Homo-oligomer: A and B are copies of this chain.
């Protein structure tokens, strides 16, 4: 119950990030996604501490992650940087990021490996994009489509990524 509240907090902030993106408050939207990363790291910790990891919690976690770290950062990056420079190609690239994130989560849940990650975790990819958008006024725009494409690829790739900081 308690870990699920953090998980739902993750989705709540991801949802708010999309609304704030829509209203043009890009830095607040980035901050909300980063807040989702914190919520996401809390739910696992709390679940392990209370020894209440459940299938329900794991399912819910993925469903929230795809929104907060797949869809929300893709929409944010599209709106802030790709729309003006790439038009509809930007929509396709942003959608590809969200789709790769969903594929990664589905594969991770099925493989059920606990010792390491296969491919870059969506929380890392989405959190990094949000962090990059915080500095969109200082970085060249081309950084963003490259980062989005690279992270999308790394999410569905088969690289082993060690788990840090349980």
Chain A residues close to B by CB (< 8 Å): 8, 11-12, 15-16, 18-19, 21-22, 54-56, 59-60, 62-64, 66-67, 70-71, 74-75, 78-79, 91, 94-95, 98-99, 102-103, 105-107, 109-110
Contacts and interface: CB of A to CB of B under 8 A. Distances in A.
Contact of A106 (B59, B70, B78): B59
Nearest to A91: B19
Given A105-B59, A106-B63, A110-B56, A75 B8 contact: no
Query: Taking chain A's interface residues, is the majority helix, strand, or loop, or is none over half, making it mixed?
Result: helix
Give the 8 A-B residue pairs with the shortest CB-CB distance, closest first: A59-B106, A60-B106, A63-B102, A63-B66, A15-B95, A56-B110, A55-B110, A59-B109
